[in-house]
Amino acid sequence: MTPIKTVATTPYQDQKPGTSGLRKKVPVFAQENYAENFIQSIFDSLEGFEGATLVIGGDGRYYNREVIQKAIKMAAASGFGKVMVGQGGILSTPAASNIIRKYKAFGGIILSASHNPGGPTEDFGIKYNIGNGGPAPEKITDAIFARTKVIDEYKIADVADIDLDAVGSFNLAGMEVEVIDPVADYADLMEDLFDFSSIRALIASGFNVVIDSMGAVTGPYARELLENRLGAPEGSVRNAIPLPDFGGHHPDPNLVHAKELYDDVMSASGPHFGAASDGDGDRNMVVGKGMFVTPSDSLAIIAANATVAPGYAAGIAGIARSMPTSEAADRVAEKLGIGMYETPTGWKFFGNLLDAGKATICGEESFGTGSNHVREKDGLWAVLFWLNILAARNESVAEIVTKHWAEYGRNYYSRHDYEEVDSDAANGLIAALREKLPSLPGQSFGALKVASADDFAYHDPIDGSESKNQGIRVLFEGGSRVVFRLSGTGTSGATIRVYVERYEPDPAKHGMETQSALADLIAVADEISELKKRSGRDAPTVIT
Ligand code: VG1
Ligand code: CO
């Protein structure tokens, strides 16, 4: 008797994938057939996977194991030949991307809500990645969403739960399941890209490095790399055990949620260098003594120094950044005489540029940096890149950053988030801005005169696809700008993001505090968008 059973289901109307997959609260995901509907809709939107391999893994958050069991049984029922799943259900997002590429899988399902909190009433997420290892492009996520609205049945192997905790292979309803070591392949890849012997020597000389894994997925990866392969003392990786609720941490590596680490590095007796990663391991925060590196600057500095790392010794072909990310990297690309690409927010837009060899290094202002080694942003990769640069240059983080500004100028930059704002109010704010766009150019706000204003649209140079309404940009004469967009990853209400940037070429003016350096632009952003009035808020929820 075949163990495959077909189950009748009714569609949900709210399964639209956002910036990075479908994200909802756990109680939403726990509704009858909710996860099954979405997973079957993924399979129904794909063609040609009969007998092929699917990679499955997640960030270890609450509900991870339950959904992995369902996904494996459904993959068997839909005709996949093999599933590779991380031991314990664990795979960081960049590690999953690597496994898909290395073992030439058809694609992968990544269970994560990234930097959002985890737990029984917190967030969960499902994302599909294609065979290049990257997030599915809009064409596929649109097809998945269309399918979720009409789905009426799904298929599942009616078998007992799988043991996810022991590495090994077995047969499940005619499909092979391989439970793999989630760390080894990724750690090997990092060792191919970076000069581990120089970094080992730097650490052995007394350079004190700590990584805060924030109770999330990078713990085992960071331990293997930093403590086992690079010789840092045991305990250098903090909050190293992935926990279903991240130990109550909000695993978002920024100055608000990783403040303890920041304060420690800034203290006289603290470590020389600190880094943190998010829930699923694709974001990074880098802090040196006396110097927090903004993600936009980090992208520019990594690109400018890329050739110190063996994996990039031949030089980089181009840089890509999301539109709201600061233009610091543009100046590096200009100097290197290489291509610079500006894409909408979200890693899925970098995939084509990376596949085509147009861009080698990519980044976002939201603590995300990565390269063509995988097709996701990669937190530990960025940390190792910094350690490689520090080892090669024999200077402190603060020296490297200030010298970079002196050479290229400084892009003062900040993002203000207004979280859990009423959705109608947030949509109204964007709609009103959109209406104002034609009248803005030429208008002056104090000393700032609007040069141009638009709603960012992206034309993909590789596949010709168009993505509209990707953020309202107001550009001022002299190169300053403010950008407004709504988050596509939140799970309650709306989050308004305001991005503010000012370019300062004069090194004598590089020592200002960021918020003061941007004060006039922040005030103008409020005036143009009526932010305070419409959101009912006096101040942002989070400033990064
Ligand atoms: C946010 C960030 C974006 C990032 C996305 C996924 O999206 O702004 O840069 O790519 O999260 O990252 P949004 O739509 O909320 O602004 V992760 O680490 O959450 O997978
Ligand atoms: Co993430």
* 382 shares its domain with 513: no
Q: What CATH number is given to the structural domain containing 433?
A: 3.30.310.50
Examine the domain organization and report whether 246 and 143 are in the same domain: no
From residue 255, alpha-carbon distances to 117, 259, 431 in Å are 16, 5, 31
Q: Is 371 in the pocket of ligand 1 (CB under 6 A)?
A: no
The verdict on the CB of residue 283 being under 6 Å from ligand 1 is yes
**Starting from the edge strand earliest in sequence, which strands make up the sheet with 361-364, in order?**
339-343, 318-322, 361-364, 368-371
Of the residues 349, 374, 408, which one is the last residue of a structural domain?
A: 408
**Same domain? 393 vs 416:** no
Domain residues for the domain of 59 are 4-182
The CB of 65 under 6 Å from ligand 1? The reply is no
> Would you state the pLDDT for residue 2?
66
Nearest CA to ligand 1 atom 18: 114
Residue type, position 439, single letter: S
Ligand at minimal distance from the CA of 127 is: 1
Instruction: Give the span between the Cα atoms of 225 and 275, in whole angstroms.
Output: 13
Per the structure, the count of domains in the chain is: 3
Kindly report the protein residue whose alpha carbon is nearest to atom 6 of ligand 1. Answer: 20
Sign of CA dihedral 343, 348, 352, 358: positive
- Measured from the alpha carbon of residue 116, the closest ligand is 1
Centre of ligand 2 from the C-alpha of residue 115, in Å: 5
Q: What is the pLDDT of residue 1?
A: 52
For the CA of 19, the closest atom of ligand 1 is 14
Residues in the chain with pLDDT values less than 50: none
Q: Whose CA is nearest to atom 4 of ligand 1?
A: 346
Question: Could you report the per-residue pLDDT of 377-391, keeping only the tens digit for each?
Answer: 999 999 999 999 999
Q: Is 192 found in the same domain as 171? A: no
Structural contact between residues 102 and 196, judged by C-beta atoms closer than 8 angstroms: no
Ligand nearest the Cα of residue 367 is: 1
The answer, yes or no, to whether any atom of ligand 1 lies below 6 A from the CB of 345, is: yes
CATH number of the domain that 34 lies in?
Answer: 3.40.120.10
Catalytic residue among 45, 97, 112, 114: 114
Contact by Cβ (8 Å): 122, 244: no
If asked whether residues 119 and 147 sit together in one domain, one would say: yes
- DSSP states along 236-257: -EES-S--TTGGG-----STTT
Give yes or no: residues 261 and 293 share one domain.
Answer: yes
Same domain, residue pair 126 and 256 = no
State which ligand 1 atom lies nearest to the alpha carbon of 115: 19
Domain boundary among the residues 182, 202, 228 is at 182
Nearest CA to ligand 1 atom 2: 366
3-state secondary structure of 342: strand
Considering the domain architecture, whether residues 175 and 280 belong to the same structural domain is answered as no
Which one of 149, 182, 215 terminates a domain?
A: 182
203 and 151 belong to one structural domain: no
Do 129 and 198 have their domain in common?
Answer: no
Report which ligand 1 atom has the smallest distance to the Cα of 490: 15
Tokens, residue 321: 């950044």
CA distance 272 to 470: 39
Question: Are the C-beta atoms of 497 and 486 separated by less than 8 Å?
Answer: yes
Domain identity same for 144 and 220? no
Give the Å distance between the CA of 3 and the centre of ligand 2: 36
- The answer to whether 205 is a known catalytic residue is no
Q: Specify the pLDDT at position 489.
A: 83
Q: Please state, as a whole number, how many other Cβ atoms lie within 10 Å of the Cβ of residue 297.
A: 24
For residues 147 and 242, state if they share a domain. no
Say what the pLDDT of residue 304 is: 98
pLDDT the model gives residue 422? 93
**pTM recorded for the entire structure:** 0.94
CA-278 nearest atom, ligand 1: 18
Atom 16 in ligand 1: which residue has the minimum CA distance? 487
Distance 541 CA to ligand 1 centre (A): 16
